[in-house]
Chain A
Amino acid sequence: AQSVTQPDIHITVSEGASLELRCNYSYGATPYLFWYVQSPGQGLQLLLKYFSGDTLVQGIKGFEAEFKRSQSSFNLRKPSVHWSDAAEYFCAVGARGGSYIPTFGRGTSLIVHP
C-alpha cells in the first residue's frame, strides 16, 4: 500500500520569500503524485500532478514540483510567496495499479508574514 509523509506541520515564510514544502512517499513503483491546496473555509483544489515524463511539473498559481525517484520525494516550490498563498497544502499519492485511489498526507499549513 502507498503512504505519504509531509514532515512539516507548519511552515512560516515572509511574503516574497521562496517556498519549499516537502513530500515523501512510499510505493513499490512510480506512483501518480499530486499537490492540493485548501484555502481557509474551502474545499481542496488540485495545484499540479505528475504522471510520467518531465520530472519538473508546473501547476497553477505559480507553483511547481519536482519528482525525485531516488529520494521518493515530490516537493512543492514557489519562487516568491504571496500573502494569498496562506493555506493548507496536501500531497497525495495514487497507485498505478488497481483502483488508483489516492492517499493523502496530513497536510502542511503555510503561514505568510507580511
Chain B
Amino acid sequence: EAQVTQNPRYLITVTGKKLTVTCSQNMNHEYMSWYRQDPGLGLRQIYYSMNVEVTDKGDVPEGYKVSRKEKRNFPLILESPSPNQTSLYFCATSGPKAYEQYFGPGTRLTVT
C-alpha cells in the first residue's frame, strides 16, 4: 500500500529544544516537501526536495532545516523551536513533476 508516514503525530516541546519530525514514503518518488498549515493561512511550503541531495527553500523556510540523504526519507529539523512554529505539519511526495501530491497524516507540534 502506498504510504507516507510521519513521526511523531503529536509533539509538545519547549522553546529551544531541538527536534526532528521524520517523513518516509514507499512510492519511490523523487519529489518530497514539507508544509505547515495554520488557521486562515492554508498550506505554506517550508522546503522541498526534487531528489536525493537536492533541497530548496519554499515560502517559509526560516527556522527549519531538511536533509535528503535517501530517496524515501525527508526529515524536518527544528534546531531551536520557537512558539511561532506551533503548527500542523504535513509531509508530501509526488512523482518527478509534483503533479499530484500524496500527503502524510500530519504532525501537530506545540512549542511552549
Contacts and interface: CB of A to CB of B under 8 A. Distances in A.
B100 A34 contact: yes
B98 A101 contact: yes
B105 interface: yes
B103 interface: yes
Size band of the B side of the interface? Answer: 20 to 34
B98 A43 contact: no
A46 B42 contact: no
A101 B33 contact: yes
A106 B40 contact: yes
B109 interface: no
B28 to A, nearest CB: 18
A46 to B, nearest CB: 5
Interface residues of A, number: 22
B45 interface: yes
A106 B59 CA distance: 14
Contact of A99 (B35, B50, B92, B101): B50
A25 to B, nearest CB: 14
A90 B33 CA distance: 17
A104 B104 CA distance: 16
A32 to B, nearest CB: 6
A17 B28 CA distance: 41
Contact of A43 (B33, B48, B103): B103
B90 A102 contact: no
B43 A104 contact: yes
Contacts of A51: 99
Contacts of B101: 36, 44, 46, 102
Interface string A26-63: 00000010101000011111100101000000000000
Given A44-B90, A90-B43, A100 B105 contact: no
Contacts of A46: 100-102
